[in-house]
Amino acid sequence: MSGLLKQIEKEAKGIRDKILKRQKPSMRFPLRNLSNVKFDPKAGFFEMGRKTKERTLAVSTVKTFAQSLKMIALSKNLIETDDIATKREAYYVAKGWSDEIRFGEQTESDTVLDDVEALFRVNREQLGFVPEEKGGEVAGRLTVFDEDRDSGEELAIDCTRFGSGAYSIPISVEHLRFESDAKFVLAIETAGMFQRLVKHSYWRTANCILVSMGGVPTRATRRFIRRLSDELDVPVYAFVDCDPYGICNIYRTLKVGSGNAAHINEFFCVPKAHFLGVTPDDIEQYGLPTHKMTDVDIKRIDDALKNDPFVQHYKKWQEALLKLKKAGYRAEQQAFAVHDLNHVIDTYLPAKLENAKAFLP
């Protein structure tokens, strides 16, 4: 029996014994938000703090308590039968439960799942739950070694040979092996920019690996880039929009992980990543067209300055965010097209890469 199965059984028996002793059982979950992470630059990622929330069985918690236990039972079943369920499938499994215990929206079942994952301090994939979301895409100077599910034969996937397409990062990346002579990894926010760079074979010109994150990178994407960074020993540069979301959500999560899944951050982040652009200075220097920041944007900046341990650790980030807030505008990475469609390839990226030391941390 695996360690995890033993852990699950131990938890359930603990609850059962408490009940039989007529004591109120409780489950103790680590608190999953930014207030319960600390940033140690030496470790390079958000570490989960000691704060926990206790869900004691009472009138107000009885429903979630029952739902959590049922989810744990489902997970135990998945592990034992070596099966998987996506979060959405888990939601539909719960739909088959009786009326009173059913979830309303999927967000409710997701929250319970995340709680269970944090309770056992494991990656949800280990519990048999897999994400619905698709991982990122990869193109460039990289060969990925996967295996054929049926024959077990090793498959070498050359990421330079996808033409105008790209290699899709699978949901689980632990078994992959890499070979590459690239000098760096460029993690790109939008699929549009990724398309442009692939179309013009930028990876060949710059001798790099291009990864499209498509917004906040999924766990698989983060883990994939992390392994590239560790195993190929190449720098990772992030190229995102110059706005609070690009900086505080996409880049921050890529580099140090999230507050929500802090128990797995250690493996699902890229501490060696650096911020190539677009920086607030770039907007001025390249005369980029801007958009006015919304109230939500400004709130995000204030929130990051006040609560985000990562931002609080880096004076440079505080200055950059304050500058952005003062200017009151934001710019997208595709805004370079104002000069020329390929201005970003011909001018911007080469100029930035010449001085990689100046990248924001």
Partner 1 sequence: MSEKTAQMDLLSTAGPGKTPDSGNGRTAKKRSGSSGRATAQSMASRQRDISISEFFSRNRHLLGFDNPRRALLTGIKEAVDNSLDACEEAGILPEIEVAIESVGSDRYLMRVRDNGPGIVKAQIPNIFGKLLYGSKFHRLKMSRGQQGIGISAASMYGQLTTGKPTRILSRTSSRRPAHMYEIQINTTKNKPEIVREEDVPDWEHAQGTQVEIEMEARYLRGRQSVDEYLRQTALANPHLHLIYSSPDGRREEYECSADELPPEPKEVKPHPHGIELGVLMKMLHATPHRTLQGFLTQEFSRVSVRMAKEICEKADLRANSRPKSIAREESDRLFKAINQTKLMKPPTDCIVPIGEELLLASLRQSVDAAFYTSTTRPPAVYRGNPFQVEVALAYGGDVDPDGTISLMRFANRVPLLYQQSACAITRSTIDVDWRNYRVSQSNGSMPTGPLVVIVHVASVWVPFTSESKEAVAHYPEIMKEIRLAVQECGRRVGEQINRQRRAAEAERKKSYVSQYIGHIAEALQEITGDSDKKKQQVEETLQSMLERSRS
> What is the DSSP code string of 251-274?
IHHHHH--STTGGGTTTS--TTEE
Beta-strand pair 273-277/291-292: unpaired
Q: Where along the sequence are the contacts to partner 1 (CB under 8 A)?
A: 8-9, 11-13, 15-16, 19-20, 22, 24, 57-60, 62-63, 65-66, 69-70, 72-73, 76-77, 97-98, 100-101
Nearest-approach distance from CB 63 to partner 1, in angstroms: 6
Nearest-approach distance from CB 187 to partner 1, in angstroms: 40
Closer residue to partner 1 in complex, CB, 13/38: 13
State yes or no: is 251 an active-site residue: no
d(CA 150, CA 168): 20
CA-to-CA separations, 195 to 121, 125, 163, 230, in angstroms, rounded: 37, 30, 11, 26
Nearest-approach distance from CB 224 to partner 1, in angstroms: 33
Tokens (6 digits) for 135: 């991982």
Tokens (6 digits) for 203: 């990876």
Nearest-approach distance from CB 78 to partner 1, in angstroms: 13
Q: Are 255 and 41 in contact (CB under 8 A)?
A: no
The 10 Å Cβ neighbour count of residue 169 is 25
Nearest-approach distance from CB 67 to partner 1, in angstroms: 8
The 10 Å Cβ neighbour count of residue 318 is 15
Closer residue to partner 1 in complex, CB, 58/338: 58
Choose the catalytic residue: 91, 92, 237, 245: 92
Closer residue to partner 1 in complex, CB, 19/351: 19
d(CA 64, CA 319): 43
d(CA 346, CA 247): 24
Closer residue to partner 1 in complex, CB, 65/286: 65
Closer residue to partner 1 in complex, CB, 15/191: 15
Q: Which residues are tagged catalytic?
A: 92
